[in-house]
Each structure stands twice: as structure tokens, then as C-alpha cells.
Structure 1
Amino acid sequence: MKKVITLLFLVSFGFINAQKAFTGKGDTRVNVGANLQDGGSGIQGSVDFGLGENFSFGFVANYLLGADDRNIYVNNQIQTRTPDFGDRFDAKARINANLSSVIGVEQLDIYPGLSLGLRNFGGHVGGRYFFTDGFGVFTEIGFPIAKYSSDNGVFDKLNNQATFSLGASFNL
């Protein structure tokens, strides 16, 4: 029971003392967390730089730590292929519309945006909530809009599908 009361106190303290999630020009927000998707899971890191009251640009990178092997047929035999570094890694430049001042909740930054990456053009929708001036949590859903190649390689789908990420957010 003491653990439950302590947890409730910490959560309520975090909500009461929450800070602005996005203040605009000059902001630098860093997200680090888990990346979950079909066929693998890994880590995601991103950084966003505020350009105006409701606009930011940044970069995001994903690396799949656990990716499923694939069986393929070669000369009527089944071979197992393991994804290499190039199959597991993806990086993108992105722009965001930061909506905390629009929705009227300063502690919560909802940010839809577009990204241009190594493998596709895509979009994302995310949210950040800051408990203190320097620490918060984030969650994000990313999705491809158009991939660059019609080649359906063995591991092409790893970086051309919807992804879900969650983790910690920091204000630098």
C-alpha cells in the first residue's frame, strides 16, 4: 500500500509541477526511447530545434536491435538471411507543427509532421509531456507515405512500415 501511495504522490507531483513542453524559437528537445514495429524492435533518438512559436525542424534515427531473420528460396533451397546494419538503420530529417499553444495545454506538446529519410517520405504524430523543466516523456507514431524504391528486397519492409515509439524527452 505504501508503494501505491508513493507512486500516486509522485505522479500527482509531476502533473502539478509540469513545465512548458514547447516554448518556440530556441527550444531544443531530445527524445530517446524504444521503437516497436512488425518484425523487430529497437531504439529511436531524435532532436528537434524550435524555429518559431509553432514550428520546429529536426532529425530522427532508428536502429533495430532485434530484427527477425527471413527465410528465402534460392535455387529451390531455403536459406535464412539475417538483416545487416544497413537493413536495421534509418535516419530522417523532419519538420513539426508544435501545437501546445494552439490546444491551450502548455505542458503537452502534440506535434504532427513530415519526414524525409534514407528510405521513404513519411509522416509522424507525437506528443511530449514535461514533468520538470528538463525532463518529460514522449510517444510517437511514424508512417511511410511513399517509399523510394519499388524493389521488394528481403528486408525492405523493416524501414517502410508504421512504427510506434515511446521514451524519455529532455530539454537542452
Structure 2
Amino acid sequence: MKKGLLILACLITSLVTAQTFEGKGDQKLQIGANFQDNVNGIVITYDYGLGENISVGIVGGYALNLNNGLEADFEDRIDLKARFNANLGNVINISDNFDVYPGISLSLKNFGGHLGMRYFFSDGFGLFTEFGTTFAKYNSDALTPAEKINNQFNANIGAVFNL
């Protein structure tokens, strides 16, 4: 019984000491679901740490399910973004497992911003959620319903992995 409790305590301690953002050279891969008005899709994110609290990355997304009779071509469904994050987990110091990262992004469709949060259960695996919005659209005319895809408020949720 004592050995079992000792092993359980060691496992819990290893889970508690997970690091979310380790600074320069840190790499994260996020895979998740994307939710927008009338659209559900997938999102894949890669972030690379440049400094103690700075990372850059790329985001790819594709709209899979179109609702309410919405029709869209491939170029309206896909988006690719370059992004910059300020990783504030060690600044706000809630937990070594938790990271908050506001940031900006430049995509094929717009210039926008995001606020994300990551929580790691182990050194390699965690969950993330991210909320994004558009600050400026490239097309300043009235957008068609298909052009609104990736040009509106969105929410992402999924798994994050340390590489």
C-alpha cells in the first residue's frame, strides 16, 4: 500500500511540474476544432519560441462544415496565418502548467488578434483554447457570406503537444 501511494505521489508530482512555455527554442504543435458563425472546421498551429516570453508561428485552418445553406469554394474555406505571441504564463504565475498568450496575426484574408490559453497535464500533452477576431479585412467591400469565413470572431479548442 505504501509503495502504491509513493508511486502515485511521484506520478502526480511529475504531472504538476509540466512546463507550458520554456522560452527560446520551445516548440508547440496544436491541433483542434474551429468554430465560427455558420462554420465548423479544423485548425493546426505551430509556435516557436524566440525568447523568454516571445514566440512566432503559423496557423492553418480549413472550414469543413458549412451550415444554413452556406456555400464556399476552396479559397474561401482555407486560411493560412503568420503570428506573433506574448507568452505570459511565467509573468502572471498562476501555475507552471498554465500559459496565457495574447498575439497578433497576418493571414491570407486579414490582420487580426487572438487570446489563447494552454494547460499541460504532462511535459508533452495538454489542452488549449483560443479566441480570435479580425481587426482589418483585405476586402473592404461588403463581404459575401462565403468571404466572411475566416473574417469573423472564432474560437478554437483542442490538444497541444511539446515537440
TM-score, normalised relative to structure 2: 0.87
Q: Give the equivalent residue in structure 1 for 2:102.
A: 112
- State how many pairs are aligned: 152
2:73 to 84, 100, 108: 84
| Partners of 1:42 and 1:14 in 2: CA distance | 36
Deviations 1:106-138 (A, max 9, x none): 211100000000010000000111111110000
Q: Give the equivalent residue in structure 2 for 1:32.
A: 31
Q: Give the equivalent residue in structure 2 for 1:167.
A: 158
Q: 1:14 Cα deviation (Å)? A: 9.0
Q: 1:158 Cα deviation (Å)? A: 1.0
Matches within 5 A, 1:1-172: 13=12, 17-68=16-67, 70=69, 82-104=71-93, 105-151=95-141, 152-172=143-163
Contact 1:60–1:94 (8 Å) recurs in 2: yes
| Partners of 2:68 and 2:73 in 1: CA distance | 10
| Partners of 1:34 and 1:14 in 2: CA distance | 30
RMSD: 2.0
Q: 1:50 Cα deviation (Å)? A: 0.3
| Partners of 2:13 and 2:127 in 1: CA distance | 11
Give the unaligned 5+ runs of structure 2: 1-7
| Partners of 2:14 and 2:115 in 1: CA distance | 22
Q: 1:84 Cα deviation (Å)? A: 1.4
Letter in 2 for 1:164: A
Contact 1:57–1:93 (8 Å) recurs in 2: yes
| Partners of 1:51 and 1:167 in 2: CA distance | 24
